Structure 1
Amino acid sequence: MSLSKCCIEGKLWDGEPVGEKRSAQAKRATYLETILKLHADQYAKEVNTTVYMLDFYGGEVLPAEFLKDMSQLRKVDLPGVMVRSSKETREPELLRFATELGSQYNRVGAISFCRGGWAVFKLGARSDSSLVYCISAVHPSLLEKLGIEQVEVLVQILAPENDFMFSPEMNAFANRAVPRSGVSYDYQHFLGV
C-alpha cells in the first residue's frame, strides 16, 4: 500500500491530555492516543465546547514512534488496518454515535481529516439532517460523488493543492455539487501545500 509522505509525517506535541476517555452507549467514544487527545483538547479550548472522537480503528493504535523513526512503520499492517476499519464496518457505529450525540446536544458539528471525509459527508447527507448541523472536511478522502451530492447541512472543505486522496476531479465535482445543493459552503484551497 502506498502512502503520500504527508500521511506519515507529523509533529509530536508535548503535554498531557486533559480530556477523558469515555464510552458511549452506541459503541466507542474514545480518544485514540495522546496526540489526538491533545488535538481534541485544543479544539475544546478554542471554541469552548465538548469534543468527542469516534474510534475509526476498532481500538488499533498506530504507534507514535514511527514519527521519529520511519522504519517502525514497516511493522504495521496498514492494508489490514484499512480492511478492518472499512466504511462498511464503521458506518453503523458512526450513525449510532451521531444519533446518540444528537439526543444529548441541540447542535452537533462534525470535523474530519483524511479518512474521515466520507464520514462527515455521510452525516451531512442523511435525510434526517438532525444528525449534524454542519460538517468540515480537511484533506477529505474516500468521498463518493453521491455523498457529496446529497449533503444537506453547512459544509466547509479545506483542500491542499497537492492531494492524491482528493483528486482535482473530485475537488472540481465538490465545488460544483455542494453549491448546487443550496447549503452554505466555505471552500479553502491551500496553494503549494
Structure 2
Amino acid sequence: MTCDACKTGFRWDGTPVGSETTLAGNQTYVTGTSTSAAILIVHDVFGWTLPNARLLADHYAQEANATVYLPDFFGGEIVSPEVMDDPEKRAAFDIPAFIARNTKEQRFPEILACARALKDAYPKVGAIGFCYGGWAVFQLAAHGTELLSCISTAHPTFLSEAEIAACRTPAQILAPEHDQYLTPELKEYCNRVIPSLGVPYEYVYFPGMSHGFATRANLNNELQKAELARAKRAAVHWFNEWLR
C-alpha cells in the first residue's frame, strides 16, 4: 500500500498562540490555561511543528477549555510542510523509510509516557490522533479510563483490528468517505465491534472527504473548509462531554 495520501494537503495561515516546553522528555507545543483538563494530540507525519496542528490545538484549548499538548514523537526529525506544495519534494519523501524509523514499538512508549505524565497532572485527560496518531490513541485506550477519559481520531492510519477490539475508553472516530487506510471493511469492523465493548462510541461520517482532511484541508474549497470545521466541532463537543 502506498502512502501518498499522508503527504498531500494544504498549509493554513495563522499564528499559533502557545509556547514550547517539554513533556516526559519530549519537545512539546502547549496551549491553554486549564488546570482541570488536558488533551494530548498525537500528530500526523508532519509532526509537532506543523502550523495546522498547532492552530487546531489552540482551537481545542479555547473551545474545550483544556490545556492542549502536542509533543514531538519523531525524535526531532521534521518533515517540511513544503512537501505538500512541491511535487519534487513530495516524490522524494520516502514515507515507508520514515515509518520504519518511527514504528509503533519504538514510539508508543514515548506516547504512553506523555499520557501518564498528563494524568499525573490533571484530573481528566483526553487524546486525539490524526493519521499516524490514530493507532496510538487506540493503544492508549486499551489502558481504560484510569488513564484517559476519552479518545478521538480522524482518518487513522495503521490501525489494526486488535487495537480496535482492545478499546476500553469512550471513543470517537471522524471518518472521511475516501480513505485507503480507514477502509470500508475497517469502518464496518469499528461500527460492529466497538459498540459491543461496553464503552461509549461516536462515529462521525464526512461524505466527499478524503484521508487527511481534518488536518490538511484546502481552506479555499468551501466543502473542505466546512467539513474541517465540522470535524473540529465534533472533537470539541466530544472533549467537552468527557472532560468536564
TM-score (structure 2 length as normaliser): 0.72
Q: CA deviation at 1:29?
A: 4.4
Higher relative contact order, structure no. (Cα contacts within 8 Å, ≥ 6 residues apart): 2
Measure the CA separation in 1 of the matches of 2:151 and 2:177: 20
Measure the CA separation in 1 of the matches of 2:14 and 2:189: 40
Please list, as runs of the form range in 1=range in 2, the aligned pairs for 1:87-98 lying within 5 A after superposition: 87-98=104-115
Please list, as runs of the form range in 1=range in 2, the aligned pairs for 1:125-136 lying within 5 A after superposition: 125-126=142-143, 128-136=144-152
* Superimposed CA distance per residue, residues 146-182 of structure 1 (whole angstroms, 9 cap, x where no aligned partner): 2111211111011112111111111111111110011
Measure the CA separation in 1 of the matches of 2:190 and 2:163: 10
Equivalent position amino acid for 1:154 in 2: P
* Superimposed CA distance per residue, residues 121-169 of structure 1 (whole angstroms, 9 cap, x where no aligned partner): 111111x532111010111121121211121111101111211111111
Asked if the contact 1:17–1:34 (Cα under 8 Å) also holds between the matched residues in 2, the reply is no
Measure the CA separation in 1 of the matches of 2:104 and 2:172: 21
Measure the CA separation in 1 of the matches of 2:9 and 2:82: 11
Q: Secondary structure at the match of 1:53?
A: strand
Q: Which moved more, 1:109-118 or 1:47-56?
A: 47-56
Equivalent position amino acid for 2:7 in 1: I
Measure the CA separation in 1 of the matches of 2:92 and 2:156: 26
Map of 2:13 onto structure 1: 14
User: Any stretches of 5+ residues in structure 1 without a counterpart?
Assistant: none
Map of 1:150 onto structure 2: 166
Measure the CA separation in 1 of the matches of 2:103 and 2:208: 30
Measure the CA separation in 1 of the matches of 2:204 and 2:76: 32
**Where is the strand percentage greater, Structure 1 or Structure 2?**
2
Count the aligned residue pairs.
Answer: 190
Query: Cα 1:103–1:50, aligned 2, differ >3 Å: closer, same or farther?
Result: same
Measure the CA separation in 2 of the matches of 1:4 and 1:161: 17
Equivalent position amino acid for 2:2 in 1: S
Measure the CA separation in 2 of the matches of 1:178 and 1:34: 31
1:161 and 2:177 matched: yes
* Superimposed CA distance per residue, residues 36-76 of structure 1 (whole angstroms, 9 cap, x where no aligned partner): 22221222122221110132211111111223222122343
Map of 2:82 onto structure 1: 65
TM-score (structure 1 length as normaliser): 0.90
Query: Cα 1:68–1:4, aligned 2, differ >3 Å: closer, same or farther?
Result: closer
RMSD: 1.7
- Identity across the alignment (%): 43
Please list, as runs of the form range in 1=range in 2, the aligned pairs for 1:97-112 lying within 5 A after superposition: 97-112=114-129
Q: Secondary structure at the match of 1:192?
A: strand
Measure the CA separation in 2 of the matches of 1:185 and 1:131: 17
Equivalent position amino acid for 2:21 in 1: R
